[in-house]
Amino acid sequence: MSQSVADTAAPLEFYQLEDDGVVHDSGTLLGFWIYLMSDALLFATVFATFGVLSSSFAGGPGPRELFDLGLVAVNTSILLLSALTCGLAMISMQGGRLGATQLWLAVTALLGMAFVGIELHEFSEMIAEGATPQRSGYLSGFFTLVGTHGLHVTFGVIWIAVMLVQLRQRGLHQENRRRLLCLSMFWHFLDVIWIGVFTFVYLLGML
Amino acid sequence: MNTHQAAAPGHADADAHDRGGFTLRTYLTGFVLAAILTAVPFWIVMTGAIPGAGTARAVVIAFAIAQIIVQTVTFLHVNARAQGGWTLLAYVFTAVLLVITIAGSIWIMYHLNANMMPGMMGDPTVSPAP
């Protein structure tokens, strides 16, 4: 095999291309993917708990009394839009456009903050009405599931903030590109989990 | 690294497309499909367009599964070639565990609840069925 490398200049050119655009640190990306899959299993247990408790109202309020589907639709749109802006950040990164990458990441973080803000508003209104996690098994399951997802989004926003500092100080070098790829996987993963949340908690709860 | 050295130049292009080759077209396709697959179930539930609750449930769940697949392919770039197929393998394995965990828990606890109706628990205040 070393012969084939020595014979032609093509492999050298290949390495040059690698440094320019695409990150080939497959170890980290695959490892991070395995982490995301284990995180999905964490969500599976929380979904299962919620599913088991989904009719344990203990005389307390149910989904129809608690939820405003319009607000959930707005929140879902915000998160979906943030997935697109995150993708635009990745495309900018690929093109080596630092300013555009930072801009789209900042927009993604703002949308993420809006999502968490609306969710906290929903929580505070529910708690003000007496629908606290202690009220019923259903509400315990609800706050655990939706809260765990919201916590993930919060940490995603913190991660974006850290990356914005990194980009400002160091630019789009190889390590930052790899970190951004992990960040985008994390963000898109959260959007996929949210599909499960809005379907099973909100939509099926209202039916 | 060795595998990369041995790889033909054509492989490098395919590799780039798998892992880092994000195109605006892919993202926009994913976004539009996801928006449609979100809007329709919300519309179904908010307007009560499907009268039967059972049918509506099945349709809403089907839309959710479709959207999860769309986002996995377009946003997370999972396919059989990425990382030599390991990404897809881990994903499928996780999906199997996820379905077993969620469906299994709900199924078992549903039967537990159904078999623990008042009167069957030996509650002294309720007379047992003759």
pLDDT confidence of residue B11: 40
Q: Which residue from B93, B82, B18, B74 is spatially nearest to A37, judged by alpha carbons?
A: B93
pLDDT confidence of residue A103: 97
Element (H, E) at B33: helix B24-47
Q: Which residue from A33, A80, A70 is spatially nearest to A191, judged by alpha carbons?
A: A80
Q: Are A29 and A182 in contact (CB under 8 A)?
A: yes
**Chain B positions in Cβ-Cβ contact with residue A49 (cut-off 8 Å):** 105
Q: Which residue from B25, B60, B54 is spatially nearest to B41, judged by alpha carbons?
A: B60
A87/B68 touch (CB, cutoff 8 Å), yes or no: no
- pLDDT tens track for A61-91: 999 999 999 999 999 999 999 999 999 999 9
Look at B18 and B78; give whichever has higher pLDDT.
B78
Please tell me the distance from the alpha carbon of residue A161 to that of residue A143, in angstroms, as a whole number: 26
Q: How confident is the model at residue B80 (pLDDT cuts 50, 70, 90)?
A: confident
A40/B57 touch (CB, cutoff 8 Å), yes or no: no
Q: Closest chain A residue to B12 measured between Cα atoms?
A: A14
- pLDDT exceeds 50 at position A1: no
Q: Closest chain A residue to B58 measured between Cα atoms?
A: A204
pLDDT confidence of residue A192: 97
Q: Identity (one letter) of the amino acid at A198? A: F
Quote the minimal CA–CA distance from B25 to chain A in Å.
Answer: 11
- pLDDT tens track for A112-151: 999 999 999 999 999 999 999 999 999 999 999 999 999 9
What average pLDDT score do residues A174-186 get?
Answer: 94
Please tell me the distance from the alpha carbon of residue A53 to that of residue B110, in angstroms, as a whole number: 10
pLDDT confidence of residue A207: 86
Quote the minimal CA–CA distance from A193 to chain B in Å.
Answer: 8
pLDDT confidence of residue A132: 94
Average pLDDT over chain A, rounded to whole? 90
What average pLDDT score do residues B82-103 get?
Answer: 93
CB environment A159-191: b (16+ within 10 A), e (fewer)? bbeebeebbeeeebeeebbbbbbbbbbbbbbbb
pLDDT confidence of residue B118: 63
Q: Which residue from A167, A159, A21, A29 is spatially nearest to B77, judged by alpha carbons?
A: A29
B83/A188 touch (CB, cutoff 8 Å), yes or no: no
- pLDDT tens track for A20-60: 445 456 689 999 999 999 999 999 999 999 999 998 999 99
Q: Are B88 and B82 in contact (CB under 8 A)?
A: yes
Look at A6 and B38; give whichever has higher pLDDT.
B38
- pLDDT exceeds 50 at position B18: no
Q: How confident is the model at residue B110 (pLDDT cuts 50, 70, 90)?
A: confident
Q: How confident is the model at residue A11 (pLDDT cuts 50, 70, 90)?
A: low
- pLDDT tens track for B35-74: 999 999 999 999 998 888 899 999 999 999 999 999 999 9
What average pLDDT score do residues A177-185 get?
Answer: 95
**Chain B positions in Cβ-Cβ contact with residue A195 (cut-off 8 Å):** 38, 64, 67-68, 71
- pLDDT exceeds 60 at position B114: yes
